[in-house]
Structure 1
């Protein structure tokens, strides 16, 4: 089950959009949202999906590496031209349960490369073009875990997302006067295949079933007042709003979309 929202097919007509992590979860929903609104969209993945979304430019690249970022930037500029909107939805955690002792050097390096450095590196290549034109939008997807980390399994992920939110704010201060808007979206728990895999890992490492693991996540988060995770399409709607002219005065902000999980701001 998921949700679907109507979109003005001309809202982003003539806009060139790059979305990282656009082949699954919230990233895939964001890609589809911009497509339905008339944009040209490019995204990257290690492998092109078996059933690629029609109209999307897929660029094979490993965005956890500097070389992969270079490939995406060059190919996106070649295929689309100047980039108007850049959305960093890439992210995830592969660290096993077990707290800080289970988070080895390898996992720390992986989480930082995927959840922080990919965005930093791609901004460095694509934002200068926005500055030259005096306009553009950058949106970083962080996580409420930069405020509510889950120590059992996602310490490196949470730390990387906290750094991403801090970096996003810093970038906004620098490029805002030149006409480039930068904002952060911090989702809570999203019902994605990656979230389901995390539940499976926690269940396996803890010797419990998936329902217990899922309840453990809910308990660690302090509950979700609306009673459910967000759907990827709901994240995409917020991203589309922040990228649109309707949000022309919104800059340097961190928008939480978590069903009320974070008790205070």
Structure 2
């Protein structure tokens, strides 16, 4: 790799905050950005066992108090952030379609997958705008473009809302020196995803791999024939937050093995 290309990917001197950064996609992104030279801060609801390679803030990002605690610490200890990866999210509502979803289910999904991001962005964006520099990555999902009503209706709608918010925010702050991008993974081989497939498989008599194929076949299949590894998502994020991607903003990058990239 040439020196000029390496320089375009370096994050030396940058401070990055990754929410939900102790496992899965979040951990892979934290490790990738640290490898590129960034000072990395991560959040989690609980402190995992073992020593942490990155600065950890224990906070529930789905609450206003948790967000305030994180903002206070990164501001006081690091003077703000240059890179923000809004990774916290998840599917908490039951499957089964509209009739199974209560107001509480809808509110919980929107709170976790949309409002958590909105709240943290609102707190940290002013510092980026003041410096006329910064990158925000919103981790969404292919479900935001192609929901499966019997499995993830409320989750998919909350991710679609995140996609729309991300586009609007990107257009608002592009002239202020801040880039906002969305990354939408398909199936990723994280522990929660594997457990989810095992749960669905158990109820249908299929294996986890057969269940994943059945679900992916709903939208034309995955040409690559497998789930992504967390490190593959992290590689994309590492490029998008780097100086090499300086002219990229507003886009939603689908990383799905070719499944619905053209949708």
Name the TM-score, length of structure 1 as normaliser: 0.91
**C-alpha distance in 2 between matches for 1:248 and 1:64:** 30
Moved more, 213-222 or 135-144: 213-222
Moved more, 64-73 or 158-167: 64-73
Alignment deviations for residues 136-177 of structure 1 (CA, whole Å, 9 cap, x no partner)? 111111111111111111111111110111001100111110
Alignment deviations for residues 117-146 of structure 1 (CA, whole Å, 9 cap, x no partner)? 111000000011000111111111111111
Q: Equivalent residue for 2:46?
A: 47
The secondary structure found in structure 1 opposite 2:218 is: helix
RMSD, matched Cα: 1.9
Alignment deviations for residues 45-71 of structure 1 (CA, whole Å, 9 cap, x no partner)? 1111112432x1111111111111111
Unmatched 5+ stretches in structure 2? none
Asked if 1:241 corresponds to 2:251, the answer is no
Unmatched 5+ stretches in structure 1? 1-6
Q: How many residues align?
A: 257
Moved more, 154-163 or 93-102: 93-102
Q: Equivalent residue for 2:256?
A: 258
Q: Equivalent residue for 2:14?
A: 15
Change (3 A) 1:255 1:263: closer
Q: Is the 8 A contact 2:10 2:243 kept in 1?
A: no
Q: Equivalent residue for 2:88?
A: 90
The secondary structure found in structure 2 opposite 1:251 is: coil
Moved more, 215-224 or 81-90: 215-224
Q: Is the 8 A contact 2:41 2:57 kept in 1?
A: yes
Moved more, 192-201 or 13-22: 192-201
Q: CA deviation at 1:215?
A: 3.3
Q: Equivalent residue for 2:33?
A: 34
Q: CA deviation at 1:178?
A: 0.7
